Amino acid sequence: MAAELERLDRVLPHVLGTADVITVGNEPFIESMPAERDERLNRFYETVARHVIETRAEVCGADCSTHLFMGALNRLDQPGKRTPAVERYLAFVRETPEIEGVDLHPHVPDETLIQDFLDYTLPRLRPDQTFLVTEFSLVWYWQKHMTDRIPAAFARRHGYAPDTRVWQVIGEAIERPFPQRKWNEFLAQSPWFEAKEHFLRDQTERFRSTGRLAVATYGFRQIPSMTAGWSATKPPWLLNSVFATLTVRQRGQGMSARTTPGSATSADCNDGRVVPS
C-alpha cells in the first residue's frame, strides 16, 4: 500500500487544481482478480480515496477546483454484479462528503439496460451527488452481429460471397481501409447498425433527464488495440468510434473519416452535456 500511495503522490501535484475532475479508480470490479472482488478491494480504494482527499486539502485547499468522484462501475444491468462489495463501494461514496458522485461505464447489449444502471445507482447516492458516464456504448450488441451475413446488396455490388460475415468485411477494412462511401454503404445496409442511429441522442436525453448528470463522454476515434488480433469473437469496440481512423481512408487534407450512424449527434461540454473522450 505504501508503494501505491507513493506512486500516487508523484501524480497528484500535477493534476490537483488543474484537472476539473479526478475519478478515483477505474473499473475496479473487472480490472481485478475475480476471487479478490470483496472487502479487500473496498479497503484498497477507500484508502486511496482518503489519501486523495487529504492531499487535495494540502495542495489546493478547501476551494480546490478539482472535483472528486469514485468509479467506474460496470455491468450493473446484471443482478449478479450487484455484490456486497459494490454496495459497500457506493455506501462509501454516499458517506464521504468530499466525494461528489460515481462514474458509470454502461456498455450494454441493449440500450434500455442503461436505465438499470441509473435505477440501481442514483438511489444509493446522496441527493446532492451527481454521476459521470465516461464510457457507454452498445459494444455487446455489436458483437452479437459479428457473425451475421453481410447485406446481400452490398455483397453483390462489391463482389463478396453471399455467406461472407460481418467480421470478415471489417477485417478487410482493417487490412486495407475502405473509401468513406464503401464504409458508409456497408453500415447503412446493415439493419442491426442503422437501427441505432439515434443512440447517442437518446442516451444523452436519458442521462440529462435525471437532473444529476455531471459529465458524459463518448469515444471519438479508433485506436490500434481495437483492431489488433481481429476475429469473430473480438469485442468490436471500433464500431463505437465516431471517427473511423483505422478502417476508412483519410479524407482530403488529412481529415478523419466517420462512422455512421450517430456521428452527427455528438454534443459539447459539461454541466450535463456530452463531450468526446
The CA distances from residue 217 to 26, 137, 193, 202, in Å, are 15, 10, 21, 14
Dihedral, CA atoms, 181, 186, 188, 190, nearest 10 degrees? 180
Confidence of residue 261 (pLDDT cuts 50, 70, 90): low
The per-residue pLDDT of the chain, averaged, comes to 92
* pTM for this entry: 0.89
| 8: enclosing H helix or E strand | helix 2-15
Task: Work out whether the CA dihedral 174, 179, 183, 185 comes out positive or negative.
Answer: negative
Q: State the average pLDDT over residues 263-270.
A: 37
Q: Write down the pLDDT at residue 16.
A: 96
Whether 270 has a pLDDT exceeding 50, the answer reads: no
Whether 134 has a pLDDT exceeding 90, the answer reads: yes
pLDDT tens digits along 135-144? 999 999 999 9
Q: Write down the pLDDT at residue 267.
A: 37
Cβ density class 225-252: b for 16+ within 10 Å, e for less: ebbeebeeebebbbbbbbbbbbbbeeee
pLDDT tens digits along 31-57? 999 999 999 999 999 999 999 999 999
| Gap between the terminal Cα atoms of the chain | 30
Cβ density class 39-74: b for 16+ within 10 Å, e for less: eebbebbbebbebbeebbeeeeeeeeebbbbbbbbb
Q: 99 near 52, Cβ under 8 Å?
A: no
Burial label, 178 (beta-carbon count in 10 A; 0-12, 13-18, 19+): buried
Q: Write down the pLDDT at residue 260.
A: 64
> What are the domain boundaries of the chain?
2-136, 140-195+221-264
Confidence of residue 87 (pLDDT cuts 50, 70, 90): very high
Q: In 3D, which of 17, 95, 6 has the Cα closest to residue 56? A: 17
Confidence of residue 250 (pLDDT cuts 50, 70, 90): confident
Q: State the average pLDDT over residues 73-94.
A: 96
Q: What is the C-alpha to C-alpha distance for residues 5 and 149, in angstroms, rounded to an integer?
A: 51
Instruction: Give the distance between the most distant pair of CA atoms in the chain.
Output: 66
